[in-house]
Amino acid sequence: MTSTVAAARTLTLHAWRDYDEDACALPGMSLGAVEVTAPPDEQATRLWELGARRVEFTGEIDLTAVDDPADAAHAVRRLCLIRDLTARAVLVHWQLRLPPEPDDGWRDLSHLQPPRTLAGPADPEAALAQWRNEHYLCKCLWRQGPGFVQIRDRRWGELRRFTAEEPEYQEAITRLSYGAPLRTVPKAIAADFLTERLAARTGPLLWWLPYRVNRWIQEAMAI
């Protein structure tokens, strides 16, 4: 899948070869500062192939200040990378600031690796603790079958399963995978995705929330 959002700003991450913090302090375990220059749909693969198993984003992702298209594109780029790294079971350290409304807006992102800090909800510490306690891999994913797309979503506790056989829905998922202007997606499809909270608005952009699974934590049929 290709991005429809230009990512003009440099994105630099710190990366290590292991999940454990003590192991990462050993000689040879740090990859240092990694400048991410690959297209968005290749970034997670590139980091994985470099050996990154733990990464740290610098700066806070502030979703209260994304009216400018460039700010929105930069935020979406980072969020999509966190999504794709989560799909590979890479440990991600990041910081997030959300708008105060809706107060449960963090749940839209609760399938991602929990951030280190969270601001915006009325009780951010309680929201972050719940996010951490309830997080597991494959919480909200999609997979491509022959002639259909299936989404499996457990962010709200129960399994919500959606199957789209219409080509226009599959085309919209492709378009939104790394962010696209809302106007480029058919209104009815965008409304469906927003109603089910399968896509998120970030400034003028709409982007796809579920990740495409790369590493199964158990047999695929059980997922």
For 5-60, write each residue's pLDDT tens digit.
444 578 899 999 999 999 999 999 999 999 988 777 788 999 999 999 999 999 99
Return the pLDDT at 3.
45
H helices present in the chain, as ranges:
21-24, 40-50, 69-87, 124-134, 167-176, 187-195
Q: Which two tokens stand for residue 191?
A: 């409304």
Q: Answer whether residue 2 shows pLDDT above 80.
A: no
Return the pLDDT at 36.
86
Q: What are phi and psi of 103, to 5 degrees?
A: -65, -25
- Tell me the average pLDDT across 111-126: 97
- How many angstroms separate the CA atoms of 3 and 80, rounded? 10
Return the pLDDT at 41.
76
Return the pLDDT at 38.
78
Q: Which two tokens stand for residue 27?
A: 């000689």
Q: Answer whether residue 73 shows pLDDT above 90.
A: yes
Return the pLDDT at 223.
44
Q: Residues 159-209: pLDDT tens digits?
A: 999 999 999 999 999 999 999 999 999 999 999 999 999 999 999 999 999
**pLDDT tier at 88, thresholds 50, 70, 90:** very high
Close Cβ partners of 155 (under 8 Å, ≥ 6 residues apart): 107, 108, 110, 111, 139, 140, 197
> Comparing C-alpha atoms, which of 153, 152, 150, 137 is closest to residue 215?
137
The mean predicted confidence, pLDDT, of the chain is 91
Using CA atoms, how far residue 43 sits from 2, 21, 40, 47, 133, in Å, is: 12, 23, 5, 6, 28
DSSP state of 105: G
For 128, other C-beta atoms within 10 Å of its C-beta total: 19
Instruction: Considering only residues 124 and 40, tell me which one the structure prediction assigns the higher pLDDT.
Output: 124
- Tell me the average pLDDT across 116-139: 96
Peptide linkage before 102 cis (omega within 30 of 0)? yes
> Comparing C-alpha atoms, which of 14, 155, 159, 32 is closest to residue 90?
14
Q: Answer whether residue 112 shows pLDDT above 50.
A: yes
> Comparing C-alpha atoms, which of 117, 119, 60, 114 is closest to residue 91?
114
Return the pLDDT at 214.
61
- How many angstroms separate the CA atoms of 223 and 212, rounded? 13
C-alpha R_g of the chain: 17
Return the pLDDT at 145.
86
